[in-house]
Structure 1
Amino acid sequence: MATLFQFALWIHIVAGFTAILILWIPILTKKGNKLHRKSGWVFVYSMTIISLTAIYMGCFRLFWMPSVDAGTRSFSWFLIYIAILSGASVWHGLRVLKFKRRSKSHCQAVDLSFTLTLLTSSIGIMVYGWNVGFPLLQYFPLIGLFLGGGQFIYWITVPKSRSHWVVEHISGMLASSIAAITAFVVFGAPRLLEVDSVNLLIWFLPTIVFTPMIIFFSSYYGRKFAGNS
C-alpha cells in the first residue's frame, strides 16, 4: 500500500505541474482552434488525474495510516475536498460546451450530482473545520459554496443570452485551476520556500489572483461571442 501511495503521489505531482503549465495555452490562444482544443484536453486529463489521486491519497491517510495526528487528518480532508472542487469545476466547464445550444433548464442527474456533491461537501468540510478549529477548512469551502451555487442556478434556469456557455466554460476551467494551484501552495510551497504553512494569505493567494482573471475573461469573451452570435 505504501508503494502504491508513493506511485500515486508522483503521478499527482507530474499531473499537477502539467496542468499548471499547460493552463496558459488555452487561456491565451484563439478560442476554438486546434491548439486551444488539444491543450485544453491535456489540462482536463491532468486535472482528472489530480482529482482521482488526491482522493486516493487523502483516504489512504485517513483510513489506512496508523496514528494520524490532527493536523494530518485536517490536511487530508482538505486534499479530498480540493479534489472534489477541481473535479466538479472541470466537469462543469466541459458539460456546458456539450449543452451550449440549450434553450431550457437542464436537469440531468449526472450534472446536478457533481454540483450537489460540491455543495454538500463544502458544507460538511466547513462544519468539520469549525469543529476542529482549522482555518483552512473553515473558510476555503466558501469558494465551493459560491461555485456550486452558481453551477446549480445555471443548470436549472433558462439561459438569458446566447453566450451563456462561454462564461461558464471559462469560469469552470479557471476555478479548477484555483483549486490545483491552491493545493500546490498549501502542500508544496511551505516545503520549497520554507514559509509558514498556516498563513491564510498564502492559502488564498491563488483565489485573490485568479478571481479577477475569471471576471475579465468571462466578461471579454462573453461580449465577444455574443457579438458573433
Structure 2
Amino acid sequence: MLGVATRCLVEGHNHLQEQIRQFLLATHVLSGITALLSATAAIASKKGRALHRTTGRVYSIAMGYIVCSAFPLAILRPNPFLFGVACFSGYLVWTGYRRATQRAPQLTRTDQWTVLAGGGVIAGMAIYGAYMLATGESLGVVSLAFAGGLTIFVAQDIQSLRSGAPLGKFRIARHLQRMLGGTIATITAVLVAQVVPQLAGTSIPPFVVWLSPTIALTPLIVWWSYKTLAPK
C-alpha cells in the first residue's frame, strides 16, 4: 500500500510539474510574439509619440515576463544557453528602458546592481560557451559572441557610473541601441525554437541561424544611431 501511495504521489507531482511547465512555456512563447509585434510597431512609429511610448512599454513588459519565466523553465527543463539569451535580452531591455525614463545624469544603486548582474551573465555565457566548444557544440561560438556583445554594453554602463549617464540625443541613441539589441535576441530565441530543430540531418550548422539576426539587424542599429547623433 505504501509503495502504491508513493507511486501515486510521484506521478501526481510529475503531472503537476508538466502542467506548470506547459503553462510557462505557452505564456513564454506568447510573450515572445507580443514582444516582436510591439517592437515592430515601436520601430515603425515616430519616436516620442504616444504610439511609440505605448508599444515600447508593452514590449518592455513582455520582455520582462520572458526573463522572469525563463528562471522556472530553466529549473523544470534546463537549457543553460536559452536561459543565458533570456538574461542577455533582459539586460538590454532593462537598461534601454532606464535610459528612456531616467533623464538625470546621476545613476543610482539600481544601476550598480544591474551592472553586477550583467557581469554575471557575461561570465556564465562565456564559461558555458567555452564548455560547448570543448564538447564539440558549434553553438558555443554564439554563446561567446553574445558574451562579447554584452561586455561592450556593460562597459558602457560602467563608464556611465563613473562619469554620468548620457544626455540629450546620446541618451536617445543609447535607448535605441539597447532596445534593438533586445529585439535581435528575441528574434534569435524564436528562430532557435522554430527553425533550428528543422535543421537536423541537413548540412546547415545551427550557429548560422543563431547569428543571422545579429548580422542582419546590426547595420540597422548603426544606421539609427548615426541618424540620431547626426547634427540637425
Considering the TM-score relative to the shorter chain, is it more than 0.5?
yes
TM-score relative to the length of structure 2 = 0.81
Using a 3 Å threshold, how does the CA distance of structure 1 residues 155 and 142 change in structure 2: closer, same or farther? same
- Tell me the equivalent position of 1:3: 19
User: Is the CA contact (8 Å cut-off) linking 1:123 and 1:145 kept in structure 2?
Assistant: no
Q: Deviations over 1:158-211 (max 9, x none)?
A: 356632210111011111111111111222212367667852221111111121
- Tell me the equivalent position of 1:72: none
Q: Does 1:149 align with 2:155?
A: yes
Using a 3 Å threshold, how does the CA distance of structure 1 residues 10 and 205 change in structure 2: closer, same or farther? same
Give the Cα separation in 1 of the matches to 2:51 and 2:167: 27
Q: How does 1:160-171 map to 2 (within 5 A)?
A: 162-171=168-177
> What is the aligned residue count?
209
SS at match of 2:164: coil
Q: CA RMSD in A?
A: 2.2
Find 1:56's aligned residue among 67, 72, 78: 72
Give the Cα separation in 2 of the matches to 1:53 and 1:168: 26
- Tell me the equivalent position of 1:41: 57
SS at match of 1:32: coil
Identity of aligned residues (%): 26
TM-score relative to the length of structure 1 = 0.82
Find 2:181's aligned residue among 175, 178, 183: 175
Give the Cα separation in 2 of the matches to 1:82 and 1:55: 12
Give the Cα separation in 1 of the matches to 2:81 and 2:87: 10
User: Is the CA contact (8 Å cut-off) linking 2:84 and 2:124 kept in structure 1?
Assistant: no
- Tell me the equivalent position of 1:214: 221
In structure 2, what residue type is equivalent to 1:80? F
Structure 1 stretch 38-47 or stretch 137-146: which is displaced more? 137-146
Give the Cα separation in 1 of the matches to 2:110 and 2:37: 30
Structure 1 stretch 163-172 or stretch 186-195: which is displaced more? 186-195
- Tell me the equivalent position of 2:110: 110
User: Is the CA contact (8 Å cut-off) linking 1:171 and 1:218 kept in structure 2?
Assistant: yes
Using a 3 Å threshold, how does the CA distance of structure 1 residues 159 and 121 change in structure 2: closer, same or farther? closer
Give the Cα separation in 2 of the matches to 1:196 and 1:109: 49
Which sections of structure 1, spanning at least 5 residues, go unmatched?
A: 63-75
In structure 1, what residue type is equivalent to 2:92? S
